[in-house]
């Protein structure tokens, strides 16, 4: 059933016939791809002693404790992937998540 606003318009109108939830997922995926680092950027990220938020982080870790804990478990687990074996993709998704949940 379509939920309606007080003025009778649908609460979540389809965009070009696509349900808004799918549009949102596509938008998030596209943003995660934009934020995805290259392999050499990923090396620099891991070797840095500073997190994206400015806090100290141990070298070899992708994020500081606080950013890491803000991530969904599936994302946390994926950050143990090696560079070239999924790390960059998950890091892009993690950045997208943190950007959205600020």
HEC assignment per residue over the chain: CCCECCCCCECCCCECCECHHHHHHHHHHHHHHHHCCCHHHHHHHHHCCECCCCCECCCCCCCCHHHHHHCCHHHHHHCCCCCCCCHHHHHHHHHHHHHHCC
Among 45, 64, 75, 95, binds Zn ion (CB under 5 A): 64
- 71 forms part of the interface with Zn ion (CB under 5 A): no
- 44 forms part of the interface with Zn ion (CB under 5 A): no
Toward Zn ion, which CB reaches closer, 23 or 61?
61
Q: How far is the CB of 64 from Zn ion (least distance, A)?
A: 3
Toward Zn ion, which CB reaches closer, 31 or 68?
68
- 94 forms part of the interface with Zn ion (CB under 5 A): no
Q: Which residues of the shown chain bind Zn ion in the complex (CB under 5 A)?
A: 51, 53, 55, 64, 67
């Amino acid at each position: 059933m379509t939920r309606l606003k007080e003025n009778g318009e649908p609460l979540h109108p389809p965009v070009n016939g696509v349900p808004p939830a799918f549009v949102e997922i596509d938008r998030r995926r596209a943003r995660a791809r934009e934020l995805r680092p290259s392999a050499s950027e990923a090396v620099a990220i891991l070797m840095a002693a500073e997190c994206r938020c400015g806090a100290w982080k141990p070298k070899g870790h992708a994020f500081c404790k606080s950013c890491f804990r803000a991530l969904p478990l599936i994302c946390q687990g994926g950050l143990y992937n090696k560079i070239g074996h999924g790390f960059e993709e998950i890091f892009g998704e993690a950045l997208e998540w943190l950007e959205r949940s600020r």
